[in-house]
Amino acid sequence: KAGVTQTPRYLIKTRGQQVTLSCSPISGHRSVSWYQQTPGQGLQFLFEYFSETQRNKGNFPGRFSGRQFSNSRSEMNVSTLELGDSALYLCASSLAPQGYASTEAFFGQGTRLTVV
Amino acid sequence: KNEVEQSPQNLTAQEGEFITINCSYSVGISALHWLQQHPGGGIVSLFMLSSGKKKHGRLIATINIQEKHSSLHITASHPRDSAVYICAVLITSGTYKYIFGTGTRLKVLA
């Protein structure tokens, strides 16, 4: 059974550009969550999608957005990139939405974004 | 004060030692995860707990809901256990979301 796949693994962008990251969940999983990891802030929750609907959103500016497709694959978009957006972006998939105590999340390897 | 506190922040151990990493939280939760992150970034979920104790190989995780505290134990530690261990709680107030501890960086020396 394939794990959570994130593409690309590494990305370099310049300030002001926009970027789209992709996450393919484990087959059958309908929940995809996104996280940002930086040395200063650690891991922070960005948003969660379940059945193509955004269920929860963390405290990030509107430049960060996402969507989920009917096959449960999710994309995350960051517009007008800033240097501080340099981070490891992780996604996790699960069968059921967050909040179901029996639901275990499986993480991808992450996309390392560097903004120069 | 962070809602999720881990201790210690850094830990160096000799191969074979028994290791304990602690996680305390101040919010209501529905579950707690212990995650392992190796250099390179990928995260592996080790345990998900809502009560009691779980064991997998040399790893043991416990949680005390009343005391809002969880521990991750590694018996007979090995250099391949060297990683960052992160505690993540799934909070139940308002919307459900994960809050993460800052991680414990473990180095096991041969």
- Check CB contact of B65 with chain A, cutoff 8 Å: no
For residue B95, the model assigns a pLDDT of 65
Q: What is the mean pLDDT of residues B46-75?
A: 94
Higher per-residue confidence, A15 vs B95: A15
- CB under 8 Å to B15, separation ≥6 — which residues? B77, B78, B79, B108, B109, B110
Token representation of residue A17: 């550009």
Cβ A91 vs Cβ A23: under 8 Å? yes
Whether A101 sits inside 8 A of B88 (CB atoms) is no
For residue B88, the model assigns a pLDDT of 92
For residue A100, the model assigns a pLDDT of 65
- The rounded distance, in Å, linking the Cα atoms of A53 and A67 is 8
Nearest residue in chain B measured CA to CA from A98: B96
Task: Round the average pLDDT of chain B to a whole number and report it.
Answer: 91
Whether B103 sits inside 8 A of A45 (CB atoms) is no
Nearest residue in chain A measured CA to CA from B104: A42
How far is the alpha carbon of A28 from chain B, nearest alpha carbon, in Å? 18
Inform me whether the pLDDT recorded for B96 exceeds 80. Answer: no
With a pLDDT cut of 70, the percent of chain B lying above it is 95
With a cut of 50, which residues of chain A have pLDDT below it? none
Q: What is the mean pLDDT of residues B61-88?
A: 96
Residue with tokens 């809002």: B68
Indicate the DSSP class of residue A25. Answer: P
pLDDT band at B6 (very low <50, low <70, confident <90, very high): very high
Closest CA to A77 of A54, A93, A51: A54
- Check CB contact of B102 with chain A, cutoff 8 Å: yes
For residue B45, the model assigns a pLDDT of 86
